[in-house]
């Protein structure tokens, strides 16, 4: 019997053929027939601590027995504690919890517009994003996501969103002015091809944003929580954000997001101006506390860097042996292998999958690797052997 299902009753925006996964253990996933796959994708950079974790399952189970949901009308201890620990990671005064990356970014846009229009005056509401960015699929975040493939049938978009080329300082200087409330930027573009922000571009951005009181939002949905070898991706690339947005790995695979805002923004927000029903519930925040305890630890983060160096050097040696692979991209354990021909990508991914390795794609011509952060060197080696064979 095939481990695949064809045409389940999902909308056509998804594919028609799916591998049916059943369970996970460590860095491995098992399909419904018991076939084993090493996971270099982590459910798109989510499962940072791997699968089958008794500690996370027990935390969720114990909290579910006590209390599952309250709404924002009440507080719970796990949510308060997580908010305290998150704000303590930088110059932040408050956290808005949500359930997904797009919600974290929508909240950031709302806070930024409220701040800018209350401090600088009505009309100063523009938001700048960059070429190849991906910030989500709801209307606000789609308006900040310039690729047509995400937008085409959905116009009109939200007014006030503009785009300029990533890392193009001249264009940035021409575009950005005091009418902008915020700039949203991925320090390393997770979906757009794994390019990262240059230090010169960060400097220019900091200078203009400081002069014009424009908020910098670092979209850390994919790069946050240890993925680049620091707690946040902006630390790796020298960006200095005012607001950060987090989601994917935050609650060990459960849906949770966080928008961290500074005091000056929090000070101008009024009661009732934003909210959520499910965001920051006691179960997801209790699990996130456990996840944070494990990841926000210097030896854990150091190990991500060690694994990354090994992974990158092995990818470089694959390039020396295989003409089809041309460039190593990314940072930490968000890495990529750019191929000479984008048309090779689907067949290489399929071959990897048939040989027991799940990988992702980014941009048009790059294989993306985002394994659980607690993967071992041996597992990386094994995965790379499968990739080389597929190439």
Q: What are the residues binding ligand PLP (CB under 6 A)? A: 44, 100-102, 105, 134-136, 186, 190-191, 219, 221-222, 247
Residue 169 · residue 112 · CB < 8 Å: no
Q: Output 76 or 222, the one with its CB closest to ligand PLP.
A: 222
Distance CA 146, CA 205 (A): 19
Using alpha carbons only, what angle is made at residue 310 by residues 309 and 315, rounded to the nearest 5 degrees?
100
| Backbone dihedral angles phi then psi of residue 62, each to the nearest 5 degrees | -65, -40
Q: Which of 300, 299, 313, 314 is nearest to 374 (CA)?
A: 300
CA separation for the pair 105, 240 (Å, rounded)? 17
**Distance between CA atoms of 194 and 330, rounded to whole angstroms?**
5
The least distance separating ligand PLP from the CB of residue 280, rounded to whole angstroms, comes to 15
Q: Kindly tell me which of 100 and 124 has the beta carbon lying closer to ligand PLP.
A: 100
Nearer to ligand PLP, 59 or 222 (CB): 222
- How many Cβ atoms are within 10 Å of 340's Cβ, its own excluded? 13
State in angstroms the smallest separation of the CB of 103 from ligand PLP.
7
Residue number with CB closer to ligand PLP (186 or 379): 186
Q: How far is the CB of 94 from ligand PLP (least distance, A)?
A: 20
> Closest separation between CB of residue 361 and ligand PLP, Å?
12
Select 45 or 374, whichever has its Cβ closest to ligand PLP.
Answer: 45
Residue 221 or residue 254: which is nearer to ligand PLP going by CB?
221
CB of residue 101 vs ligand PLP: minimum separation in angstroms?
A: 2
C-beta nearest to ligand PLP: residue: 101
How open is the CA angle 177-181-186, to the nearest 5 degrees?
Answer: 95
Please report how close the Cβ of residue 20 comes to ligand PLP at its closest, in angstroms.
22
**Least Å from the CB of residue 132 to ligand PLP:** 11
| Token pair belonging to 6 | 């064809």
Nearer to ligand PLP, 126 or 135 (CB): 135
Nearest to residue 101, comparing CAs of 109, 92, 93? 109
Residue 77: C-alpha distances to residues 104, 190, 289, 330, 383 (Å)? 21, 33, 11, 37, 41
Q: How far apart are CA 385 and CA 391, in angstroms?
A: 10
Nearer CB in complex with ligand PLP: 370/384: 370
Cβ neighbours of 161 (radius 10 Å): 20
Question: Could you tell me whether strands 325-331 and 334-339 are parallel, antiparallel, or unpaired per DSSP bridges?
Answer: antiparallel
Q: How far is the CB of 10 from ligand PLP (least distance, A)?
A: 16
| Residue-level length of the chain | 391
């Amino acid at each position: 019997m095939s481990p695949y299902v064809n045409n389940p009753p999902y909308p056509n925006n998804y594919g028609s053929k799916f591998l049916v996964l059943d369970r996970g253990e460590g860095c491995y996933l098992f399909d419904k027939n018991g076939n084993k796959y090493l996971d270099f994708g982590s459910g798109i950079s989510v499962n940072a601590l791997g699968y089958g974790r008794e500690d996370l399952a027990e935390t969720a189970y114990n909290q579910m027995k006590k209390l599952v949901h309250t709404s924002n009308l009440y507080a719970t201890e796990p949510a308060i504690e997580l908010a305290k620990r998150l704000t303590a990671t930088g110059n932040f005064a408050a956290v808005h919890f949500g359930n997904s990356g797009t919600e974290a970014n929508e909240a950031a846009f709302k806070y930024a517009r409220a701040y800018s229009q209350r401090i600088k005056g009505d009309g100063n509401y523009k938001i700048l994003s960059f070429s190849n960015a991906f910030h989500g699929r709801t209307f606000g975040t789609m308006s900040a996501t310039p690729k047509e493939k995400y937008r085409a049938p959905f116009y009109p978009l939200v007014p006030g969103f503009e785009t300029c080329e990533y890392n193009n300082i001249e264009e940035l200087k021409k575009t950005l002015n005091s009418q902008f409330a915020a700039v949203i930027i991925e320090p390393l573009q997770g979906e757009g091809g794994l390019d990262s922000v240059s230090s010169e571009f960060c400097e220019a951005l900091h200078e203009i944003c400081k002069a014009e009181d424009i908020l910098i939002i670092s979209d850390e949905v994919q790069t946050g929580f240890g993925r680049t070898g620091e707690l946040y991706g902006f630390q790796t690339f020298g960006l200095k954000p005012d607001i950060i947005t987090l989601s994917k790995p935050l609650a060990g695979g459960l849906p949770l997001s966080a928008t961290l805002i500074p005091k000056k923004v929090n000070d101008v927000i009024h009661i009732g101006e934003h909210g959520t029903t499910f965001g920051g519930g006691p179960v997801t925040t209790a699990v996130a506390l456990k996840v944070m305890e494990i990841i926000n630890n210097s030896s854990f983060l150091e190990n991500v860097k060690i694994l990354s160096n090994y992974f990158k050097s092995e990818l470089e040696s694959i390039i020396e042996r295989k003409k089809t692979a041309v460039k190593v991209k990314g940072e930490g354990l968000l890495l990529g292998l750019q191929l000479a021909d984008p048309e090779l990508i689907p067949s290489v991914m399929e071959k990897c999958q048939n040989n027991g390795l799940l990988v992702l794609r980014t941009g048009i011509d790059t294989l993306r690797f985002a394994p659980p952060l607690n993967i071992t060197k041996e597992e990386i080696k094994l995965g790379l052997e499968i990739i080389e064979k597929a190439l």
